[in-house]
Structure 1
C-alpha cells in the first residue's frame, strides 16, 4: 500500500477492550512500533480485505444476473471428482 505523507489524520475517540489494548501494546513492543501504528495498520488491512470481498460479491451478483452460473450440484461433483471423493 502506498503511503501518502501529506495525508491528513483525524482524531476520533474509539473504545478498545482492555484485553485487546494489552495485545496491541505487546505487538507494538515486539515490532518496535507505536500503538497508533499497529491500530492504523489493522484498520487499513481490515478495510482492504472487506473492499476486496465486496468487489467479489458484486461481481458474483452481476454474473448471476447475466446467467453466468453453474448449478451447485455440478460444482460439487467437479470438486469430488478432482479429489477422488464419492458423493
Structure 2
C-alpha cells in the first residue's frame, strides 16, 4: 500500500510517551500513530453514522413507546442492583 507523509505538532511529553510505548512494543512511531489514527477514524465514523441514523429515525417519528421504555427501565434497574 502506498503511503503519504504528514506532519503534526504535539507536546514533547506526548512524544516521550509515544517513544516509550514504541520501545516497549518493539514498534515504530509510525506504526503506533497509524494504528491510533485508524482506530480514531473508525470510531468517529461509526459515531457519525449512528447519529445520522438516529436523526433519520427521529425525523420519521420513530420513537420508543411508553411500554418499550418501561421494559428498558426495568432492565437497567435490575442490572444496577
Query: Shorter chain as normaliser: what TM range?
Result: 0.7 to 0.9
Normalised by the length of structure 1, the TM-score is 0.75
Structure 1 alignment gaps of length 5 or more: 1-5
2:33 is aligned, of 31, 39, 50, to 39
Q: In the alignment, what sits opposite 2:74? A: 81
Which portions of structure 1, spanning 4 or more consecutive aligned residues, are displaced by more than 6 angstroms?
none
Q: Hey, what's the Cα distance between the residues in 2 that align with 1:31 and 1:12?
A: 23
In structure 2, do the counterparts of structure 1 residues 18 and 70 end up closer, same or farther at CA, with 3 Å as the change threshold? same
Give the superposition deviation at 1:50: 0.2
- In the alignment of these two chains, the number of paired residues is 77
| More helix by percentage | 2
